[in-house]
Amino acid sequence: MGKLTIGCFSSLVGSMSLDFAVKLAGAAVEKGHKVDFWVSGNATMLSIKGQRAFKDYSALQKPLQELMGKGLTITACEACAEARGYHKDITMEGFKRHSMDWYLASTFDADRVLHIGGE
Amino acid sequence: MKLAVFVSDYRLNVDTLDRLKAEKLGIILVQNGVYHATVKEKGAASPLLGKSANYYALIDDLETRGLGNADIDGNVKVVGYGDIVDLIFNEYDKTAWL
């Protein structure tokens, strides 16, 4: 088994790339890999708690919480989040917040890195 | 270098890929990129399929778009998320996202 670091600089919740990144992280966790997941920019919206799930609409909170329970580490860029008014008190439990150093450090000891570019 | 390139868009112009040099190249079609595996223009397959590379398309994104095995170019292998994880770890060592 190995370590995969995913960096996702996608658009808001509802972005195909964000959906893809969460599903890929899930598949890697299921296969026993360690996964670090970093979100930056508008993707930090993922960290907000209390987002409601509607049919045929991207709803990632529940799958993310399940994956965190299986060992996924997910971190939002603190500056990006704060710049968008996503403060600590509305952040999903278990969702870490750090500066970009965290992402860089994670990539340095990862076996594989997937950086999903901005939209 | 063994490089896996994720192509996530159909309108992508191909020259970005032309500039990527790899001893082994894998092109993984995801999101709207899966149309490269199915759409023919004037009877010809997408120019993206003309490289010496291994081609893969994500089944979830094909099915979301109402596409299936019958629609896909013969050179493209249909994969799931678990397969992509295995490809990343076992077949390639670097990734790129286009």
CATH numeric code, B2-97: 3.40.1260.10
Contact B35, B10 (CB under 8 A): yes
- Give the structural domain span for A98: 3-50+57-108
- Assigned domain for A94 exists: yes
Number of domains chain A is built from: 1
Distance, in Å, from the CA atom of B2 to the CA atom of B22, rounded to the nearest integer, reads 6
pLDDT of residue B77: 97
- Assigned domain for A114 exists: no
Residue B19 has pLDDT above 80, yes or no: yes
- Enumerate the residues of chain A whose CB falls inside 8 A of the CB of residue B81: 23-24, 26-27
The string of pLDDT tens digits covering residues A24-33 is: 999 999 999 9
- Assigned domain for A115 exists: no
Q: Where do the domains of chain B lie?
A: 2-97
- Are the Cβ atoms of B31 and A2 closer than 8 angstroms? no
- Separation in Å, CA of A113 to nearest CA in chain B: 7
- Assigned domain for A117 exists: no
- Separation in Å, CA of A3 to nearest CA in chain B: 9
- Assigned domain for A113 exists: no
The string of pLDDT tens digits covering residues B32-81 is: 999 999 988 888 889 899 999 999 999 999 999 999 889 999 999 999 99
CATH code of the domain containing A101: 3.40.1260.10
- Are the Cβ atoms of B89 and A33 closer than 8 angstroms? yes
Confidence of residue B13 (pLDDT cuts 50, 70, 90): low
